Structures are given as structure tokens and as C-alpha cells.
Amino acid sequence: MGGCVSVSSGSNNGDRVSSSCLNSRSNARRRKKRSLSGRITSLQHLSHIPNRIFTNGKSKTSCIFTQQGRKGVNQDAMLVWEDFDSEDAIFCGIFDGHGPHGHLVSRKVRDTLPSKLLSFLHSQESKGNRSSINCFNRKSKLDQGNSEGGISTEDQLSSKWKEAFLKSYKSMDKELRSHPSLDCFCSGSTAVTIVKQGLILFMGSIGDSRAILGSRDNNNTMVAVQLTVDLKPDLPKEAERIKRCRGRVFALQDEPEVCRVWLPFDDAPGLAMARAFGDFCLKDYGVISIPEFSHRVLTEMDQFVVLASDGVWDVLSNEEVVEIVSTAPTRSSAARILVDAAAREWKLKYPTSKMDDCAVVCMYLDGKMDNESDLEDQGICVATNPNYSSFTATESDEGHNSEPTLRRNYTVRSAEDSDPNNRIQIEIEEKQNAVNATSEDQNWSGLEGVTRVNSLVQLPRFSGEKLNS
């Protein structure tokens, strides 16, 4: 925060700030600028940033795990970034892609959105608001209830993070629209992102990925608290906005429980969410990328946070997820055990449907994780071990060289038209999952059927007659 509190002794009312304070403020701004510049430069090499994990494994406070479903390449992405902005801040997020290039969109958002959030947060601080507060005696402010104009410190922090979330999400969607090689016209991604700073959670989300809190009630019983809202088209406010923009909202006869967004002139694409990154074919018809923001002050009763894609929430309730995570034999295995439970439920509840991709982040609020020696004593493999799971996905994170080279137009291309390097990467992932699949999974894969909940039912045909009419 800085410690510049000196005031000129020649001032009776304390309004004049000493020259040393002004110099300190100027130097602090220069240091801040250099620090931010260096941090943004380091973001160009994301895979080498310490305390940042994006594949199956664990960190000091969290464990993450993803498993490919039965629809093709895994389109889920996940991230835990500790020491985010400061030592007491942690960023975690789940990003669920959909459409022909959804896996590329979700990874692009995973790699870019956090740095945008940091950039907008620091740009706010560089305006001088934070420095001006530090250069006056804060004791008088604390005596007045630690408030400024009736606004508490908590509300000030929330306002700062809300603005950063809104701007970063908007900038992310704008970058996807103008991306030179990634066609997001009929592809997109959800996002559920949380920043834990001290004892406060700041949350922003779009789409139907979800975050919940595992907490204890007065009887010391574990309970589930839902932190985010599934932003689906059947929510009254979402449906009203879409219809005002001439988009259509209805469910198909063979899946009456799933409302979708449709173009006004064609029964396509059938998007199963009201907000998303990308999906620019529907951005003029009510689908937006503005996140739903909220914050929550943690208590000593709060134990952990779980973020997961809809592949988990389609088959498990909030209460079931909390029970599974809280009873896991080790903290580092909680995410994997939860994904395994979701996979079993898919087989039981929807045996003729294709299982969706599942991704989970479990963040423990006391900042503790199992020691590797404890896991070895119990015969449990550590998540950081390459053999931790037979479902460990491989992907390139060095920039975005694996993205296909696509021309920017409004036609829909198949995956076979993508860049050969990207096809090789996808083939590697598919082969690895095929080789490591258990015999039980192989038997189940013989059951063919329609997907229960697809993000997109079909790709737009864009009939010329309907469009012109």
C-alpha cells in the first residue's frame, strides 16, 4: 500500500502535502509502471510463470482435473494462478468451449483474460486514487469508520474489481472478434472466474459453468452455497433481453428441458446459454459477454470453493459435489474423484447419451494442501506426477501456434479444414485418451446416441431466402 503519510508542519489544516511526499508518489507511480510493464512482458511466456497451473495437477492451495467426454476433443480449459497481483490473491477459472473451434476459444480465453484483468486493475490504481489515500493520515479515516463518503472499504474494493471484470470481459470478446486466425462466428466459450484476495471472493461469470462454496453450518454440517448463476436462456431476464433483440428462445421437442437461442430467420444455431465469449452470429440477437459480478466475504466456517463446467452440474447437485469433495481421502485427489463421480453418473443417468467434457477446480480457503509424503504413505499418486491419471490431457501452451490459420469470413468450416499442426495436436490428445481408456469405458463407448445437452444443436445454414426476407 505504501507508507507515505508525512504532512507539512507549516500547515495548520493538513491540506498541504510535503515535497517529499509528492516525490514519493511520483517514484511510486514510476515503480508501479515498470512493475506492470515487466509483468505483462512475462505474460508472453505463460507456461513458465510460477504458481500457475492449467493441466491436471495441484498447487499450494488447489487441485484441478479435466477429462475428455465422448463428443471429440476436450473443449474445457481450467486455470489456477496463485500470487495473482499480490501474494494474498489467487485467480481460478473454468472455461467451457463449444462449436467447431470451441477448444481453441476456451484456451485463448484462459490464457488472455487473467492478464487483461490484471492490466485493467493496475490501470485503475495508476489513476492516483490509491496514492492520494496513502499520502494522508489514515488514522482519522479509521476513526470515522474506515469509510469515505459513507462507502466502506469492502465496497470500494468490490467497485474496483467489478470495473476490472467488466472491462476485461469486454476487451476479451473484442479481441476474439478481431482475431486474425480464430473464427469465433459459431464458436465460443463460457467462463466462471474467481479472485480470492484476503478474505473476499470476487466473482465474474458468463454461461452455464458454475462455482459453489463448501461451508459448515451452526451444526458443523457441510452445506453447499451457490456462488454464481447459470446464465441460461430460460432465465426470465435473459429471455426478455434476447427477445427484445429479435432472437428466439425455445426448446426442441426431444429435449424439452433445454432452452436454446435461435436466429430470427433460421432454426440455428441453438445455443444453450444466454451469455458467452464469441458466438458472434448471435451477438446482434441478445447473446452478450457481460459478466454477472458479485463478491462475498469469507468466514471461518467456509472450507473450499469448487468451480466446474456443466458436464459436472448436468449430473451432480451442489450438495453431492460438496459431499464428494469434503470426503475425499486427500485434498489433492478431490478434483479427480469428483470428475470420476460425474463420469459414473453420466453412465447411470444417460446411458445412451454422449458424456460431456468435465473440468474441476477445487480451491481450499485455508491455503493448505496435502504433503506429497502423506500421499505416498496412503498409496495415492500425486497429481503432479505424469502418471497421476490415465486421462491427463496434453496440449501446447507456448503462445497460440496450435491455432488454425483461418480466413475471416462468415462461412462455417469443418475441423478438417483447419491447420495441419492443430489436427496433429488434436490427434495426439484423442490417441492418448483412447489408449488409456479402461475396459469399462470401452464397453460404454459402444452405446451410441444423441448428445443430451449440446451447446450448439447445429451450425447456421443462413438461408439466403430467409435472410433477404
234 — alpha (psi -120 to 50), left (phi > 0) or beta? alpha
How much is the average pLDDT of 320-332? 96
Q: Provide the pLDDT for residue 390.
A: 34
pLDDT of 315 strictly over 80: yes
Confidence of residue 88 (pLDDT cuts 50, 70, 90): confident
Grid coordinates 458479485 are at which residue?
294
Q: Are strands 200-206 and 191-197 parallel, antiparallel or unpaired?
A: antiparallel
| Nearest Cα to Cα of residue 65 among 79, 51, 50 | 79
Residue 48 DSSP code: G
| Nearest Cα to Cα of residue 355 among 375, 370, 339 | 339
Contacts with 112 (C-beta within 8 Å, 6 or more apart), sequence order: 172, 175
CB 66 within 8 A of CB 339: yes
CB 109 within 8 A of CB 277: yes
How far is Cα 345 from Cα 353, in angstroms, rounded to an integer?
12
Q: Provide the pLDDT for residue 149.
A: 54
How much is the average pLDDT of 236-246? 97
List, for residues 355-399, the tens digit of each pLDDT value.
Answer: 999 999 999 999 888 764 344 444 444 444 433 333 333 344 433
Task: State the chain's mean pLDDT as an integer.
Answer: 76
Confidence of residue 417 (pLDDT cuts 50, 70, 90): very low
Tell me what percent of the residues of the chain surpass a pLDDT of 70.
64
For residue 61, what is its C-alpha cell? 492451495
pLDDT of 22 strictly over 70: no
Q: Provide the pLDDT for residue 370.
A: 75
Q: Which residue has the higher pLDDT, 6 or 116?
A: 116
Q: Which residue has the higher pLDDT, 182 or 18?
A: 182
Q: Provide the pLDDT for residue 454.
A: 63
List, for residues 260-276, the tens digit of each pLDDT value.
Answer: 999 999 999 999 999 99
Question: In 10 A of CB 306, how many CB atoms?
Answer: 25
How far is Cα 163 from Cα 377, in angstroms, rounded to an integer?
47
For residue 79, what is its C-alpha cell? 486455470
Q: Provide the pLDDT for residue 336.
A: 97
| Nearest Cα to Cα of residue 462 among 200, 225, 262 | 262
CB 337 within 8 A of CB 44: no
How much is the average pLDDT of 221-229? 97
How much is the average pLDDT of 411-435? 43
How far is Cα 193 from Cα 202, in angstroms, rounded to an integer?
8
Q: Provide the pLDDT for residue 446.
A: 35
Angle at 127 (CA atoms; ends 177, 202), nearest 5 degrees:
60
pLDDT of 213 strictly over 90: yes
How much is the average pLDDT of 29-56? 62
pTM value? 0.74
Q: Buried (b) or exposed (e) across 2-20, using 16+ Cβ within 10 A?
A: eebeebeeeeeeeeebbee
CB 188 within 8 A of CB 177: no
Confidence of residue 129 (pLDDT cuts 50, 70, 90): low
Domains identified in the chain and CATH numbers: 48-126+155-230+275-364 (3.60.40.10)
**Alpha helices, H only, 235-391:** 236-244, 310-313, 318-326, 334-349, 372-377
DSSP β-bridge partners for residue 307:
211, 361
How much is the average pLDDT of 52-62? 94
CB 170 within 8 A of CB 290: yes
How much is the average pLDDT of 329-340? 96
Q: Buried (b) or exposed (e) across 150-183, using 16+ Cβ within 10 A?
A: eeeeeebebebbbebbebbbbbbbebbbebeebb
DSSP β-bridge partners for residue 291:
none
Grid coordinates 478434483 are at which residue?
335
pLDDT of 69 strictly over 60: yes
Q: Provide the pLDDT for residue 375.
A: 47
How far is Cα 132 from Cα 128, in angstroms, rounded to an integer?
6
Q: Which residue has the higher pLDDT, 198 or 40?
A: 198
Alpha-carbon distance values, 319 to 211, 223, 245, 306, 371 (Å): 12, 7, 37, 12, 27
| Nearest Cα to Cα of residue 191 among 142, 161, 230, 160 | 230
